[in-house]
A and B are shown apart, each in its own frame.
Chain A
Amino acid sequence: MRLTTMLLLFATLVILAYFAARRRAIAMAGGHRGIRNLHSLPAHHGYYAALCSALPALLVLALWALVGDRVVMGQVITTLPEPYRSMEASELSLVLNEVRALASGQAMGGERPPELEPVAGRFLALHSASRWLLSAVVLALALAGGALACWTIRPQLRARNRVEAMVKALLIGASTLAVFTTVGILLSVIFEAVRFFGQVPIIDFLFGLEWSPQTALRPDQVGSSGAFGAVPLFAGTLLISAIAMAVAVPIGLMVAIYLSEYAEPRMRALVKPLLEVLAGIPTVVYGYFAALTVAPLLREGGEALGLDVASESALGAGLVMGVMIIPFISSLSDDVINAVPQSLRDGSLALGATTSETTRRVVIPAALPGIVGGVLLAVSRAIGETMIVVMAAGLSARLTVNPLEAVTTVTVQIVTLLVGDQEFDSPKTLAAFALGLVLFIVTLVLNIVALLVVRRYREQYE
């Protein structure tokens, strides 16, 4: 049975359960006039039956989506001929992929071992059997749940309370999804990172000075030692982030000050949305602009000054990233500057200070915790920014502080390691997850510190 047919049937059953339960509740109450004999409205009885019918079946569906394929494959493995059964897990998964390709008829590239043919047939049989079983179980559960709920309907059944309890459980489930996401990120990244640290010592990774992840395909190959010292990546990330912040912090802050302290409402209404457009432009567009327009400009400018600027210089990527971050800083600072009470400004102005003196000596100090928090968040964005650096920064891991040279960053390396063909056991791919772990931890710490700074040092004016 096709999945869509099954889902359609399932939805029909659930809707049927709703109407059946509603009718039954009305009948129990003795027609429409007797509705007040019911504890809950007929519709609540309907919802109750629908939920009873849908929830268990959905649970089974979700479970099958998680493990169904695995169970089928486990069965297939037991039917594999001998040389395959004692294979390593990674080789086995390749074989299983072949089986899958054979079964789906997309067998390309000819040379598949003929002994896999019957296995593919077995896989197909198991697969369709599991589909049928799933459909039967889901539809039976939906039917049984709906029927049972209809059966239990009495005038005094507290259907509304039960429905509300179930809905509340669903709401709670939705709200915990964020926690599951965090746990999922942590687990997936840590799991692979630990496997990586099993092959490359964590000390070498964190403090090693050489990064060249190309591992040798053959032992006698030259030049691909596979060194995983991440310091050059961290240095490159910090260099580009520092350039970005050097652009974004002063300009973003001045924009916020100008818009909140100087600009007329008309200008503010015009300029603010314009700058927000900068925040809405996708980063891939910034990357393209950096690579196509800014980098050649810098190169030509450097040549005119007699400087040797790399075509993928850290400066270009950093500059463009800084512009991307300007609206982020300016809107966060704008909020905290506007939160400073007018009475403070009035007091300072009344003492004869100019607007700039008031801003520098009264408003900014009062808003400082919020501004620092915003800057920290901006740093975490700069560190995690991917597309701009992928397109405009280099690939060579060089340990330098010269912004005119090409450097590479953590995110660039994650992308280059994971895009394209990959085997899932080589330290090369696992290294990407170790880098991801570092990235996640650093941004997490920055976010938490930003939150703490804002909370701890916020001046309360009420």
Chain B
Amino acid sequence: MSNDNPGADANPTRPVSEARRKVEAGVARRHASERRFRLYGLFSVMFGIVFLGLLLASVVGNGYSAFRQAQVRLDIHFDRALLDPEGRAEPGLLSGADYQLLVKSALGEQFPEVTERRERRELNGLVSPMAAYELRDLLLANPSLLGTRQSLWLPADDFVDMLLKGHVGRGAGVSGRPGGAQLAWVDRLKAEGRLELHFNRAFFVSGDSREPEMAGVWGATKGSFFMLLVTLLLSFPLGVAAAIYLEEFAPRNRWTDFIEVNINNLAAVPSIVFGLLGLAVFINVLGLPRSAPVVGGLVLTLMTLPVIIIAARAAIKSVPPSVREAALGIGASPMQTVFHHVLPLALPGMLTGAIIGMARALGESAPLLMVGMVAFVADVPGTPLDPSTALPVQIYLWADSPERAFIERTSAAIMVLLAFLLVMNLAAVWLRRRFERRW
């Protein structure tokens, strides 16, 4: 081409102009295909973004309502005759009393016309069975309430909650749905201002529960926190130590190569395989307790270690050799060079890597299923050895629950999890921006 063209321009002959015509005829087609190609690219980008938007919208749309919860205002009479018939104000006795009775009698006062047994049962079903426990805790914390009459907001049952939020229709008769009488009572309570949506405090301060209106994420959050604590305490020092050795001291030989291949491979091993390792080694061989955040943390440590090693090595690599040479030049030993000069300069990069590794560990659930963290745990764990679950596992568990009210709670738990992840990633970005140095 390059040989022919100049001559062709100088002396136009038939075959050359035909070639040119061919080229020109193709230009429009080629430009069209160029535009198409570009459009495919744009479409792909849009696909990703639209999907992300849909995902977030579906989570937020399903979940935002869970932050409010229907509550019923009842005039509870802490009746001595019901709670403490023999008149001894002992805590042991008070904690064993039947608080359900208080709720029932308050509801009875509210709706005196309801007398039939079956209807009474339906009426009592308006208030969450957990309300009794709230009353007990209230009275135990403040025994002077005994004998007084209090106007209290108590959690309504989940179907009332769903009804108020419009998540279930008013069609009566189906099992699990409110019957006609219940609908009328709900409407009356609402008209009297005794039934309102309030901030759902239980969601943030309680553990798991079979009753959706009392189920919260605090237990799972604490479990996740303990697990991440174990993971961070183990994987950061170990990962940094490994990275220092491999980057600064390791001789170039087969063994080092083998270690590196292992690290890179572990970074790509499916997480569930780490769960199998945890089950076989930590639980069956070492006899550590099932469902304990310690075990989950150990498994996540092994999983995040490669991530942290790789990030820490990159951070060490980015420290220029001149820093090392200067330190060595004035008589520092190699170990002093690394610990006094290279490590402080590489630390922000390592921390960034560690935070990203932690964020990944926080969202991980498959290996935790293997080490028994899927058990139903209603208590909030107090130590890393107590049985517990983790946020993503809690999401998995709730997603499996049939009650309609758990759909919004699952979405709300996802929002909590995503908020944590967002904060961690923003921290990583901030660290990088703040301390990044170009040498």
- Nearest Cβ distance between residue A122 and chain B, in whole angstroms? 18
Does B319 touch A at the CB level, under 8 Å?
Answer: no
User: In whole angstroms, what is the CA distance A167 to B40 when docked?
Assistant: 55
| Smallest CB separation, B319 vs chain A (Å) | 17
Q: Which of B266, B279, B285, B359 contacts A181 (CB 8 A)?
A: B266
A405 CB–B CB distance under 8 Å:
no
- A381 CB contacts on chain B under 8 angstroms: 268, 270
Q: Is B410 an interface residue (CB 8 A)?
A: yes
- CB pair B272–A254 under 8 Å, yes or no, is no
Q: In this complex, what residue of A is CB-closest to B356? A: A280
Q: Does A307 contact B (CB under 8 A)?
A: no
Which residues 21-38 of B sit at the A interface, judged by CB distance below 8 A? 30-31, 33-34, 37-38
Within 8 A of A (CB), among B349-403: 359, 362-366, 369-370, 374, 392-393, 395-396, 399
- Closest residue to B51 on the A side, CB-wise? A323
A274 to B53 CA separation, bound complex (whole angstroms): 10
Instruction: Name A379-429 residues within 8 Å CB distance of B.
Output: 380-381, 383-387, 390-391, 411, 414-415, 418-419, 424
A291 close to B (CB within 8 Å) = yes
- CB-CB contacts below 8 Å: B251-270 with A: 258-259, 261-266, 268-270
**A171 touching B249 by the CB < 8 A rule?**
yes
- Distance in angstroms between the alpha carbons of A357 and B38 in the assembled complex: 11
A224 on the interface (CB 8 Å rule)? no
Assess whether B246 is in contact with A386, with CB atoms less than 8 Å apart. no
> In the bound complex, what is the Cα–Cα distance between A164 and B338 (angstroms)?
11
Look across to chain A and name the residue whose beta carbon is closest to the beta carbon of B365.
A284
A174 at the interface (CB under 8 A from B): yes
Contact B281 A444 (CB under 8 A): no
The reply to whether the CB of A89 lies closer than 8 angstroms to some CB of chain B is no
Contact A356/B418 with A168-B335, A178-B242 known, Cβ cut-off 8 Å? no
Is B58 an interface position by the 8 A CB rule?
yes
* B273 & A280 in contact (Cβ 8 Å cutoff): no
In whole angstroms, how far apart are the Cα atoms of A352 and B237 in the complex?
A: 55
Q: Given A326-B48, A356-B37, A385-B270, A289 and B59 touching (CB < 8 A)?
A: yes
B-chain residues with CB within 8 Å of residue A263 when the two chains form the complex: 45
Judge whether B284 and A439 touch: CB under 8 Å: no
Q: Is the CB of A258 within 8 A of B45?
A: yes
Does B272 lie within 8 Å of A354, measured CB to CB?
no
Rounded to whole Å, the gap between the CB of A162 and the closest CB of chain B is 11
Are B52 and A278 in contact, CB atoms less than 8 angstroms apart? yes
Asked if residues A271 and B52 are in contact (CB atoms below 8 Å), the reply is no
Q: Of the candidates A65, A179, A274, A360, which one forms a contact with B52 in the assembled complex, judged by CB atoms under 8 Å apart? A: A274
Q: Which residues 282-326 of B sit at the A interface, judged by CB distance below 8 A? A: 284-287, 302, 305-306, 309
A188 & B370 in contact (Cβ 8 Å cutoff): no
Chain B: CB-nearest residue to A172: B245
A133: B residues at CB distance < 8 A? none
Contacts known (A284-B396, A415-B369); A271 close to B49, Cβ less than 8 A = yes
B110 within 8 A of A: no
Chain A positions 46 through 85: 1 when the CB is less than 8 Å from some CB of chain B, otherwise 0: 0000000000000000000110011000000000000000
Contact B41 A257 (CB under 8 A): yes
How many angstroms between the C-alpha atoms of A191 and B277 in the bound complex? 11
CB–CB A292/B49 < 8 A: no
Cα distance, A286 to B374, chains bound together (Å): 19
A451-B284 in contact (CB<8A): no
Cα A448 to Cα B266 in complex, Å, equals: 11
Q: Are B276 and A414 in contact (CB under 8 A)?
A: yes
Q: How far is the CA of A444 from the CA of B411 in the complex (A)?
A: 35
Q: What A residues does B126 contact at CB under 8 A?
A: none
Q: Is the CB–CB distance between A357 and B425 below 8 Å?
A: no
Contact of B277 among A188, A250, A323 (CB under 8 A): A188
Q: Nearest Cβ in chain B — how far from A111, in angstroms? A: 23
- Evaluate contact between A418 and B270: CB separation under 8 angstroms: no
B62 within 8 A of A: yes
Q: Taking the nearest CB of chain A, how far is it from the CB of B357, in angstroms?
A: 12
Looking at chain B's contact residues, the main secondary structure is helix
Query: Taking the nearest CB of chain A, how far is it from the CB of B365, in angstroms?
Result: 5
Taking a contact as CB atoms under 8 Å apart, the answer to whether A411 and B366 are in contact is: yes
In the bound complex, residues from chain B placing their C-beta under 8 Å from that of A189 are 273, 276-277, 280
A257 vs B276: C-alpha distance when bound (angstroms):
39
Task: Among B55, B250, B272, B335, find the residue whose CB has the most chain A CB atoms closer than 10 A.
Answer: B272
With known contacts A160-B333, A285-B55, A171–B245 Cβ distance under 8 A: yes
Given known contacts A167-B335, A285-B418, A176 and B259 CB-to-CB distance under 8 angstroms: yes
**Chain B residue contacts of A436, Cβ below 8 A:** 272-273, 276
Measured CB to CB, the closest approach of chain B to A299, in angstroms, equals: 16
Q: A336-378 toward B: CB 8 Å interface, digit per residue (1/0)?
A: 0000000000000000001111011000000000000000010
Q: Complex: how many Å from CA A129 to CA B423?
A: 47
Q: Is the CB of A292 within 8 A of B58?
A: yes
Given A262-B41, A414-B276: A287 and B396 interface contact (C-beta under 8 Å): yes
In the complex, the answer to whether A391 meets B399 with C-beta atoms within 8 Å is yes
Q: Report which residue of A164, A284, A386, A439 has the largest number of chain B beta carbons within 10 angstroms of its beta carbon.
A: A284
A234 on the B face (CB < 8 A): no
Q: Is B214 an interface residue (CB 8 A)?
A: no
How many whole Å from B217's CB to the nearest CB in chain A?
A: 14
Contact of A275 among B48, B245, B264, B395 (CB under 8 A): B48
A87 at the binding interface (Cβ < 8 Å)? no
Docked-complex contact A356 and B38, CB < 8 angstroms: yes
**Contact in complex: A293, B58 (CB < 8 Å):** yes
- A250 in contact with B244 given A285-B395, A433-B280 (CB within 8 Å): no
Task: Tell me the smallest distance from the CB of A359 to a CB of chain B, in Å.
Answer: 7
Question: How far apart are the CA atoms of A385 and B237 in the complex, in Å?
Answer: 29
Q: Is B135 among interface residues, defined by CB-CB distance under 8 A? A: no
A to B CB contacts below 8 Å, 22 in the list: A70-B287, A168-B245, A171-B245, A174-B238, A177-B305, A181-B305, A182-B265, A184-B277, A185-B276, A185-B277, A192-B280, A257-B41, A258-B45, A281-B55, A359-B37, A380-B270, A384-B271, A386-B369, A387-B392, A411-B366, A414-B272, A419-B370
Residues of A near any B CB (own CB < 8 A): 65-66, 69-70, 160, 164, 167-168, 170-179, 181-182, 184-185, 188-189, 191-192, 250-252, 254-255, 257-259, 261-263, 271, 274-275, 277-278, 280-289, 291-293, 323, 326-327, 330, 354-357, 359-360, 377, 380-381, 383-387, 390-391, 411, 414-415, 418-419, 424, 432-433, 436, 439-440, 443-444, 447-448, 451
3 closest Cβ pairs, A-B complex: A384-B270, A258-B41, A282-B363
* Additional A-B contact list (13), CB under 8 Å, known A175-B246, A262-B38, A384-B269: A178-B309, A181-B262, A189-B280, A262-B41, A271-B45, A282-B362, A289-B58, A292-B58, A292-B399, A323-B48, A355-B38, A380-B268, A387-B392
